[in-house]
Amino acid sequence: MHSNILPEDLTQNITDRCCVGTKGCEWDGTLRRVVTEPIFVQKVYDATLVNLQALSTVSNVRFTPNLPVGSRIIRIVDIRCRRFFNPANVNDPRNLVVDPETILSGGEFVRDAQGNFVEVVGPDGCRNQRLIFADTTVCDDEGRGTPVFGTQRIALRGNVLIEIDVLVLSPNGRRSTVTLSANVPIAPVNAPIILTNFFELCIPSVFDSAFFPRFAEFCNILCETRLGTNSIARDIRINPETGEVRIDLIIALCISCEKKIVVPVQLCVLSTGFTEISPETSPICTTFPTLFPRQIDEDSIGDIEDPGKPDRPGCKRGFRGLEAEEFYEEEEQE
């Protein structure tokens, strides 16, 4: 069997290394399609951002590849640093990990009977938010939030990837640029780098809500590096027999941690409807299923009734009192 359906474009340009995302939200700039929608989300009641930094000195780090015998480095073109992560093993001890530990004062994290923290699902789909309880009676009477104070210890461990572009002069006088790379351990699992910070957060009432406040925190880390003394002669050593390169470095770890107090709430927002993304391939099927159910609110349905459906009181538009419902049933029985 030979298919007569061909790709739309066999000469698609695939040389671009980067891309631009499609969000699927289109708006013509008018308010004709804008409607109010209720959404059930987590509202941020208070938040704080903390920036921390740490330094790590590493010596005699082996870089690859080896340089040709007799070569020497005459200039550093660029130095890059990024954290190491092994996607094949999330528990790889070489993965650069930021592990925060928080202790509260003026409130406490809710625990179960075994003494474990009660954690709930956050926006990322993981159980990483803790429930907070505090006596908020005094501030509730004043219509204000209750402060809680925290001490946080952040443990850093794992490796970083370092790349150095160097200008190399060969024995025959030829210059070339070579990229040297190394996987450098910052701190082992049993001896992490410890950073400490303090914070204050404001929590809403724990009595006037169906949900306890939740404590959410997340961190990100960057790294910057330079030669130990900013001297090629002192910090870079090349084995004259093998061309092996060893370098002394100073690595700066830059950490940003944000802490939030969130509570599940229902909000009314302005919306232009569900996202609709146009397919990019030639379809074989004549129709495709929808990804979201149709709207069932009064504004979307209007006064249109489907004559093909039975007249079911439970699905009709509008509101009837108890007397009207009972009268309707009696009418049907007659």
Sign of CA dihedral 229, 231, 233, 237: positive
Paired residues of 52 in beta bridges = 255
Dist CA 295 CA 52 (whole Å): 47
Q: Measure the CA–CA gap between 136 and 147, rounded to whole angstroms.
A: 9
The confidence score (pLDDT) of residue 21 equals 82
Q: What is the pLDDT of residue 280?
A: 67
Phi, psi of 313 (to 5 degrees): -60, -35
pLDDT at residue 160 in the model:
97
For the chain, give percent helix, strand, coil, nearest 5.
10, 45, 45
**How many other β-carbons are positioned within 10 Å of the β-carbon of residue 99?**
11
Question: CB 88: neighbour CB atoms within 10 A?
Answer: 5
Smallest CA-to-CA distance from 215 within 53, 112, 101, 98 is with 101
Asked if residue 63 lies in contact with residue 245, where contact means CB atoms within 8 angstroms, the answer is: yes
β pairing state of 35-63 and 127-133: unpaired
The model's pLDDT over 163-199, given as tens digits with 9 standing for 90+, comes to 999 999 998 889 999 999 999 999 888 899 999 999 9
For 2, how many CA atoms within 13 A lie in the half-sphere containing its CB? 1
Nearest-angstrom CA–CA distance, 56 and 62 = 16
pTM of the model as a whole: 0.75
Spatial contact of 326 and 320, defined as CB atoms under 8 Å apart: no
Report the C-alpha gap between 184 and 88 in whole angstroms.
Answer: 19
Question: Going by C-beta distance under 8 Å and a sequence separation of 6 or more, which residues neighbour residue 167?
Answer: 73, 74, 75, 76, 77, 175, 176, 177
Distance CA 67, CA 205 (A): 65
Low-confidence stretches of the chain (pLDDT < 70) are 1-15, 280-283, 302-334
Do 152 and 197 contact (CB within 8 A), yes or no?
Answer: yes
3-state secondary structure of 232: helix
- Closest Cα to residue 214, out of 101, 46, 39? 46
CA distance 183 to 165: 15
Cα 268 versus chain centre, distance: 25
Q: Where are the domains of the chain?
A: 35-40+268-274+292-333, 42-267
